[in-house]
Structure 1
């Protein structure tokens, strides 16, 4: 496969991942936050078995299997449940935007772990991303601390899970680079996530599942977006232009909000789009600050 074609395949993964917020929320509206997420990750795990394959666990570093599994499952639970427990579709999109603080957090943590010198653009990039989240949570009023507080107070569970997920995923990215030694446990991790969600589903009362054509279609698309997204990304990273893929990936918050608004038929304000753009730009600045001259 040529580099140009592999890069195109990698870019398709970014498009697939950008649909996740809207699709997870759409499925949870019919199957419930826990049941919907359990179905998505179960089908995604099946797809990954056929696209990526099941890894030979005997070749994996034991520390990575334990720590990587725990971090990955924790993150996916935070992501899926934060979207599922959102009160409205618009709030789900806002919650998804909070989760996209992870790129800047990952870069900051990686710099600290490797004891590199913090470059001048890193901190402004992080602050810009945080300011973008504040603008998103401010609603139509833009930067309003009262409105931000009201938004967080209205659903601390969803926003808290999303923010926790951003931190967990940043730690996972750094730990994977340090401990994985080239191992790819994504199929196993999805299976463990599905198992954890099913345990939660059967161990506590859940709302009745409302199956409809829209929910089934969203379920299949969500599973495909996750399963095929990881497969396409791996191919792009291995054989494509990594710089192009890395740069494009930092625009996922904007793509995600745009597609989620379409899928969920949500009306987003101008300040929201300004905030989403600030999150993407801040993350891109963080990444740019770490590039070698």
Structure 2
């Protein structure tokens, strides 16, 4: 698989995550951990079907338990920290801190073997972050934030950054392993739900359809395509492009009539597009340099 193809596949994860808010609203009033269990269960089931009809389930036996532990901690840990942070501090600042992970991915990617972090990567990431900040801060919050909630949001961003960047170091591990990550996360989420939440099931066809859509896309297939992008694609470009998710998410809510359009959305679109363009330019220059050295 070429780097360009892997990057394009990684982009589909960002596109799917842009529908996360819309489908989550439709799934109300299902509590977060139960929603997590249902969605990751669906995603894991789809992964089993994909693996069985492709590489075969036997490929899952070739993966070390350490890799499975790493992946499960990444997915479950991120979502547990994310949900807990917003319970303690349901504010825009919490969302903004939690969304530091694309910037962290760009910065840490320079430490990976064979990767070089350029000035345009950093500038592009900062510009895109400013665009995402406009979107997140414009949404506001329902209450005053707590220091603990903000701290957990920061740990949330660090967790997803490490999961994504270290996935690059597991390039030889088949993406089918994400199936086990999802199923294990579903199991842990179910246990946590029983211990911490009151069970409330989806209401009506719309509620169940929203849960199914989440499991198929944003909390399912997206983790498989993200894995491919992180392992074989342009990690810096994917990091910067991830800031398009909150913008696309807001546009989806506007299209659904849930959120009103505003000048902040337009300005955010300009900033995020400019940031991604700078990162793409840096990636193109890096590729040309590498090609010239080979020649």
Do these two structures clear the TM 0.5 threshold for a shared fold by scoring above it?
yes
Contact 1:55 / 1:187 at 8 angstroms: preserved in 2? no
Larger displacement relative to structure 2 (226-235 or 252-261): 226-235
**1:134-145 pair list within 5 angstroms:** 134-139=133-138
2:247 match: secondary structure:
helix
Counterpart of 2:73?
70
The residue number in structure 2 matching 1:123 is 122
Query: 1:270 aligns to what?
Result: 263
What residue is the counterpart of 1:43 in the other structure? 42
Q: TM-score, normalised by structure 1?
A: 0.71
Q: Separation in 2 of the partners of 1:193 and 1:81? A: 16
CA–CA distance in structure 2, aligned partners of residues 55 and 102 of structure 1: 34
The answer for the alignment partner of 2:215 in structure 1 is: 223
Checking the alignment, whether the CA contact within 8 Å between 2:106 and 2:125 is kept in structure 1 is: no
Deviation at 1:157, TM superposition (A): 7.3
Q: Which residue of 2 aligns with 1:204?
A: 196
1:190 is paired with a residue whose SS is helix
Mean CA deviation greater in 181-190 or 269-278: 269-278
With normalisation by structure 2, the TM-score equals 0.70
* 1:168 maps onto 2:159 in alignment: yes
Deviations, residues 231-268 of structure 1 (Å, cap 9, x unaligned):
667899999x989x959766433322212444571235
For 2:293, the equivalent position in structure 1 comes to none
Count of aligned pairs between the two proteins = 275
User: Of residues 181, 188, 207 in structure 1, which corresponds to 2:172?
Assistant: 181
Indicate the RMSD between aligned Cα atoms, in angstroms. 4.4
- SS of the residue aligned with 1:265? coil
Give unpaired runs (5+ residues) of structure 1: 141-147
Q: For 2:110, what is the secondary structure of its paired residue?
A: helix
Match in the other structure for 2:291? none
Q: Which runs of 5+ in 2 are unaligned?
A: 289-295
Distance 1:224 1:77 in 2: 20
Equivalent runs, 1:25-64 vs 2, <5 Å = 25-27=25-27, 29-53=28-52, 54=57, 56-64=59-67
